[in-house]
Amino acid sequence: MILAGDVGGTKVDLALYNFEGGKLQVVRQEKFPASAYPTLQDVVLAFLGTGDVAEKIEHEVMAACFGCPGPVKDGHLKLTNLPWELDARDLSKILNIEHIFLLNDLEANGYGVAELEPDQVFELEPGDKSALGHRALVSPGTGLGEALLIWNPTARRHVPLPSEGGHVDWAPRNPLEMELLQWLLKKLGGRVSTERVVSGLGLKNIYEFLRDGKGMEEPAWLKERLETEDPNFVIGTTGEDGSCELTAKVLAVFSASLGAECGNMGLKLLSSGGIYLGGGIPPKILKTLQAGPFLDAFFDKGRLSPLLHTMPLRVILEDKCALIGAAAYAEARAAEISGHSERAASQP
């Protein structure tokens, strides 16, 4: 079996996988509140169980991989949103699992893309489906994650490379966005990154700008919901269904900047293999993404606009993509080291 983990700032998603016919099959899966545990190994031990049950599972787990936010260096990682410092070698000893790997969370998502079935992806634009080449992964959630999926023509597979591209400077493209930039410069006291607009943080920033900076009316019922519910959920759902003019405008501004950033990634990487939208936000605003602002901004690249039309544009619907990718990576790396592939052994 393979143990896979998706480590976030608020929760840890763990799963055990095996292989059937060369494909990953989930055996058991569970979520844990990260703040309730002092270390990652405590979360894993709670998942594996105690006594004979834990010993049996540990014996059957041949490799593990955890996707985590932040840069991984030589098997070591210090999480930014949790007081955890992880080391693959230490985890291997504590958990008694021979092969343990740490990956950047977007890198894990990148490995997961190759494992997805057609019904786990929503196609916004078909592009040239016959083209092979690099892919870009843009994932707006709580923050903005980005990864490069580099096409290896010899191995005929994509190799994910993590990045901190979500923290590059945000560039406004029209008068309204220029006003938003000036408003954010004052609010933040300086530099504005793309993540400040294209993320869950960005939804709140845009909302406050339109309400306070542009004077758009905030209905009383909306204010009440924002005070008692998750603000991003409220903004997203009311904007998506068109029940509120203010939140619909928030999504229009948000999706335009997201589209522009996806187009930027397509140009920088020459993503003939496509641009994939991951993270928690895109699957929830598919109607908005199919409307004008997102696609208009994506294709608005002047003389190079025709090039963008050749690039497939897809939304990842599978929220366990990072878990799946971590499991696939663990098996592949363990197979390279040990010479035994569980995936290959499961095929007829």
**pLDDT values of the chain reduced to their tens digit, one per residue, 348 residues:** 899 999 987 899 999 999 988 899 999 999 999 989 999 999 999 998 865 555 556 568 999 999 998 889 999 999 877 889 999 999 999 998 999 999 999 999 999 999 999 999 999 999 998 889 999 999 999 889 999 999 999 989 999 998 889 999 999 999 999 999 999 999 999 999 999 999 999 999 999 999 999 999 999 999 999 999 999 999 999 999 999 999 999 999 999 999 999 999 999 999 999 999 999 999 999 999 998 899 999 999 999 999 999 999 999 999 999 999 999 999 999 999 988 888 888 887
Nearest residue to 114 (alpha-carbon basis) of 320, 321, 311, 317: 321
In angstroms, rounded to a whole number, what is the distance separating the alpha carbons of residues 325 and 147?
A: 13
Residues of the chain with CATH 3.40.367.20: 120-317
How is residue 266 written in tokens? 């397509």
Question: In sequence order, what are the residues at sequence separation of 6 or more whose Cβ sits closer than 8 angstroms to the Cβ of residue 38?
Answer: none
Tokens of 256: 């335009």
Give buried/exposed letters for 262-280 (b at 16+ CB in 10 A, else e).
Answer: bbbbbeebebbbbbbbbbe
Alpha helices (H) in the chain, listed in sequence order = 40-48, 51-60, 88-95, 105-113, 175-188, 200-208, 220-228, 231-240, 245-269, 286-290, 292-299, 305-308, 321-338, 342-346
The CATH 3.30.420.40 domain(s) of the chain lie at 2-111+320-346
Q: Within 13 Å and on the Cβ side, how many CA atoms surround 12?
A: 28
pLDDT of 58 reads 58
Q: What is the pLDDT of residue 348?
A: 79
CATH of domain 120-317: 3.40.367.20
DSSP string, 56-98: HHHHH--EEEEEESS--BTTEEE-SSSS-EEEHHHHHHHHT-S
Kind and range of the H or E run holding 116: none
Q: How confident is the model at residue 340, as a pLDDT? A: 85
Q: Identify the DSSP state of 229.
A: S
User: pTM to 2 decimals?
Assistant: 0.91
User: What CA–CA distance (Å, rounded) separates 109 from 102?
Assistant: 13
CATH class of this structure's domain 2-111+320-346: alpha beta
- d(Cα 15, Cα 218) in Å, to the nearest integer? 42
How many of the other CB atoms lie within 10 Å of CB of 49? 13
Half-sphere exposure of 155 (CA within 13 A, CB side): 6
- Distance (Å, whole) CA 301 – CA 267: 9
